[in-house]
A = this chain, B = another copy of it.
Amino acid sequence: MAIVLVANQYGKAKVRLLHVSRDETTHVITDLSVSVALSGELTATHLSGDNTAVLTTDAQKNAVFAFAKEHGVSEIEDFALLLARHFVASQPSISFARVTMEQYPWERLAGHSFARSGREVRTATVSHDGQQSWVVSGLHGLTVLNTAGSEFWGFAKDRYTTLTETTDRILATAVSARWRHASPAASANCWGDSYRAARDLMLEAFADTHSYSLQQTLFAMGKRVLDGRPEIAEIRLSLPNKHHFEVDMTPFGLENDGEVFYAADRPYGLIEGTVTRDDAPPSGRSW
């Protein structure tokens, strides 16, 4: 019996980069958190502390900044592809790179003045093995709520089931979603359009699906994206059920007719699912 190192990766996490494009009379800003994870032939540093093969995480951070200067930052998928390919191409020891981006949204107030828009954070994860690249786009923090069109009844009952069936409840969630592009090449010129369309399709499906369960809403959201966007092969959704409980006012002699709710923190439901095409290309090392 021997004790062995198996899967391993390392890198710099959460490089906070603000890029200002001054090419135009009105500046454009891009606000990112970039994380890099590299793997390859790194046994020596683990076993003996021989760092010959280790590109420092400090140099990875510097590369993020330098690439922003040299190539600009437009779509995060493109910027992540550039970086991931660079690390594998330039370091003999590195055979696989994963670069993850979070983009924080801002809106313009006036010429050179901006306000952070607190809605969703856009994400991208690019994986590259020296030959092939995989691109996953996504978002998180998109909190949505329906005050109508949500029911929940007909569920299984066991000894511990006390929940009342309802034909009218608040449905609220904070959408986390990630979707895999069928081909980075095919999506290459439409990252931004694809992102906005996918987000809007999810919002539409959330809003117009008459829901009998959050699972049903999840599938409807995923299906809507795949129906509408041929470049997307698969989507993974994680939807917390942010419970809003109708306050019982009978002790005060009042009737609460769906007007006053208590928003609970914990526990919460958590519904997760993957929706894909049956002829989707293999996911490879996307995830």
Interface residue ranges, A against B (CB under 8 Å): 1-22, 27, 29, 31, 33, 35, 37, 42, 45-63, 65-66, 68-70, 90-91, 93, 106, 109-119, 141-149, 151-163, 170, 203-204, 206-208, 211-213, 215-216, 218-219, 222-223, 226-227, 240-241, 244, 247, 249, 251-254, 256-279
Contacts and interface: CB of A to CB of B under 8 A. Distances in A.
Contact of A114 (B116, B147, B204, B275): B147
A274 B155 contact: no
A136 to B, nearest CB: 15
Given A17-B263, A162-B59, A111 B37 contact: no
Contacts of A9: 272-273
B267 A51 contact: no
Chain A's interface: helix, strand, loop or mixed, by majority?
mixed
25 contacts: A5-B222, A8-B274, A12-B267, A20-B260, A22-B257, A22-B258, A29-B145, A45-B216, A46-B219, A52-B155, A55-B155, A58-B163, A60-B160, A62-B161, A62-B162, A66-B160, A66-B252, A68-B260, A91-B156, A106-B145, A114-B146, A114-B147, A115-B145, A117-B119, A118-B141
